[in-house]
Amino acid sequence: MKKVAVILSGCGVFDGAEIHESVISLLALSRAGASYQCFAPDIPQIHVVNHLTGEVEEGESRNVLVEAARIARGDIKPISELDVGEFDALLLPGGFGAAKNLCDFALKGTDCQIEPSVLSACQAFAKAGKAAGYMCIAPMMLPQIYGEGVLGTIGTDTDTAAAFDQLGGSHQACPVDEIVVDEANKLVSTPAYMLAGSITEAADGIEKAVSKLLAMA
């Protein structure tokens, strides 16, 4: 049985992990006969968003690991405990948390940095030559993890694609129900809710990405 490490970035599209993407990913892994363990950085969220109003809740603070535990039904570990040797592949769902908590692309654009514990974990899979999958906005981290020329997609948004290229990657435009594969790096990415208009559309690409991830693992 293949074992996959899943890195979550909180809970909720606007300030954490995109819940639909995360759940569809876990379901697809399980249906394909793989096991998984969820991880998240044990750090404060960059901010907290009221998902009913879309407004930032001033003065409120939440922890990324504690919030991500909601999606994982409590079965989650701090990313500091992620041992690449125990896993066959890595998977990162999207949501704004990927661009706010796992890295700060949402705030700093091409001057972004990846959170140190996240960078260490992701680079460990890259250096070990193990398969990895990145969804939605999470692929923005790929150039800093894999280096110059890495292939990836965030869909078709022109400005975000240009930022991906500026960071050193090679962006590939991709429809919502498809995937982009970097065979050399054993890497798959898919747009998910960067383009999806419904949970069904998101699921189409995610399920293909998970299938390819496990095939490369």
Q: Is 11 a catalytic residue?
A: no
Q: H-helix or E-strand containing 19?
A: helix 19-31
Give which of 166, 131, 173 is closest to 152, Cα–Cα: 173
The pLDDT, as a whole number, for residue 121 is: 98
Which listed residue (11, 38, 136, 174) is catalytic? 136
What would the pLDDT profile of 158-168 be if each residue is shown by its tens digit?
999 999 999 99
Give 208's pLDDT tier (boundaries 50, 70, 90): very high
* Residue 167 near residue 110 (C-beta atoms within 8 A): yes
> What rounded mean pLDDT belongs to the chain?
98
Of the chain, the percentage scoring pLDDT greater than 90 comes to: 100
The pLDDT, as a whole number, for residue 178 is: 98
The pLDDT, as a whole number, for residue 204 is: 97
Over residues 125-152, mean pLDDT: 98
Over residues 9-19, mean pLDDT: 98
Which position has the token pair 């594969």? 181
What would the pLDDT profile of 79-88 be if each residue is shown by its tens digit?
999 999 999 9
Give which of 155, 146, 152 is closest to 165, Cα–Cα: 152
Terminal C-alpha separation, the chain: 11
Of the chain, the percentage scoring pLDDT greater than 70 comes to: 100
Which CATH entry fits the domain spanning 3-216: 3.40.50.880, 2.60.40.770, 3.40.50.300, 3.40.640.10? 3.40.50.880
* Residue 91 near residue 121 (C-beta atoms within 8 A): no
What would the pLDDT profile of 28-57 be if each residue is shown by its tens digit?
999 999 999 999 999 999 999 999 999 999
Q: What residues does each domain of the chain span?
A: 3-216
| DSSP-based three-state secondary structure for 189 | strand
The pLDDT, as a whole number, for residue 144 is: 98
Q: What pTM value is reported for the model? A: 0.98
Backbone angles phi, psi at 132, to 5 degrees: -145, 150
List 5's β-bridge partners, or say none.
Answer: 37, 90
CA distance 196 to 203: 9
Over residues 127-145, mean pLDDT: 98
